[in-house]
Amino acid sequence: MSVRSDRAQRYAHVTGWGRYAPAQVLTNRDLERMVDTDDEWIVQRTGIRERRVAAAHETTASMASVAALRAIRTAGIEPDDIDMILLATLTPDYWMPSTAALVKEAIGNTRAAAMDVAAACSGFVYAYATAQAYVTSGMARHVLVIGAELLTRFLDYSDRSTCILFGDGAGAVVLSAADEPGGGLGLELTTEPQGAYMIWLPAGGAKSPPSAETITRGEHYIRMEGRETYRFATRTLATTALAAIEDAGLSPSDIDLFIPHQANIRIIEAVAKGLDLPMDRMYVNLDRYGNTSAASVPIALAEAVNEGRVKVGDHVVIVAFGAGFTSGAVTIQWTADPARGIAGDAAVKPDDVQVRLPVDWDSVDPIPAALAEVMARPGPVDVPLDDVVPGEPEHAHLEVSE
């Protein structure tokens, strides 16, 4: 990408959106057979009923590439029209190169700058804000923003407090420059490092490089202080969203739909309560995917638009929180034809996209032993793209306790 800055007033509109979820489903009943938990506890405390698990041949880059190409098809542009690729993830394929670089090649782009963004579950919102800065400053015309995660390979399936929460998937948007007002209107990003060790993955980095001992100690898995994280989330999500709404010169009642990070139905209910809004303003799909970290907001956004929950002119707020602690929100005025998304999704089959593998090297079997049985059973095939879990209710209608 060559940098060009002409300082003219520009707006960054969402012109494309797409998502991908692996076919294999891990239900609460499956988890009952692995750890001391039960479906009722998980549903009551989190709202999650099932989550997706990537197959052995899938990676963060492969899922990201499918979602990205779908977003590009929805936008009606070519892969080479993309000037910059920002990929938010805490589960990259490798420490280096960036997963964004692999995606660039897989989608057939030859000219974009590509980099990963590390802000955990807030990563997509951080990447969106960065993309918006590039577009509105005139430094990029089309930016591809992706959130993709393969969390099931970083979970301890003997730790019931974490393994029930997370799942795999990817979502993406294209932000495009336009002279007409619309797109991102208001923004808020926060980072509170006091929470740095509330959700973390201790080993594998410079502080504690991988070794037989770090493996024995189980330090390559996600650890979390659930209650502290819950407290942070309920305190921060509503205030972060409110700051982004006020930054747009609006008030909560002006917002047609919130796309909150899909971590826990009780956290989303607390946001609605904090903003004095009914739950029907909150989009919820965590019952079907669990927490997919940086992928959760773009998957939810794409599904909400494809389901007809967003109309041209609507105000939408994307809002997330995550490890760091980080949080972020963007108030968006929607301007794209919502009908384009389903055709964009249908235009790209997962097998259409190949991520190049290294020469003379192969990974070990990536499927966690605890999931081997689940992964061996036949998965749903040819899942309709507008109904990812046939027969499931469209939205979560959950009885939850405080």
Residues forming contacts to ligand ACO in the complex (CB under 6 A) are: 37, 41-42, 45-46, 120-121, 160-161, 164, 199, 224, 226-227, 229-230, 233, 263-264, 291, 293, 322-323
Contact partners, residue 1, CB within 8 Å, separation at least 6:
83, 84, 111, 112, 113, 140
User: What six digits make up the tokens of 274?
Assistant: 């904090």
The single residue of 28, 121, 163, 315 carrying the catalytic annotation is 121
Instruction: Please say if 163 is a catalytic residue.
Output: no
* Segment holding 125, helix H or strand E: helix 123-136
When the beta carbons of 89 and 291 are compared against ligand ACO, the nearer one is: 291
User: What six digits make up the tokens of 8?
Assistant: 């003219």
Q: Closest by alpha carbon to 126, among 196, 188, 65, 198?
A: 188
Q: Least distance to ligand ACO from the beta carbon of 114, Å?
A: 23
CB of 229 closer than 8 Å to CB of 162 = no
When the beta carbons of 119 and 302 are compared against ligand ACO, the nearer one is: 119
Q: Least distance to ligand ACO from the beta carbon of 261, Å?
A: 7
User: What six digits make up the tokens of 127?
Assistant: 């990447």
Q: Least distance to ligand ACO from the beta carbon of 320, Å?
A: 8
The single residue of 163, 291, 306, 315 carrying the catalytic annotation is 291
CA 280 – CA 273 distance, rounded (Å): 12
The single residue of 261, 285, 306, 315 carrying the catalytic annotation is 261
List, edge to edge, every strand of the sheet that includes 183-191. Answer: 183-191, 326-333, 315-322, 257-260
Burial track 160-172 (b if 16+ CB lie within 10 A, e otherwise): bebbbbbbbbbbb
When the beta carbons of 196 and 357 are compared against ligand ACO, the nearer one is: 196
When the beta carbons of 162 and 306 are compared against ligand ACO, the nearer one is: 162
Q: State the residue for tokens 């963004």.
A: 117
Which residues are catalytically annotated?
A: 121, 261, 291
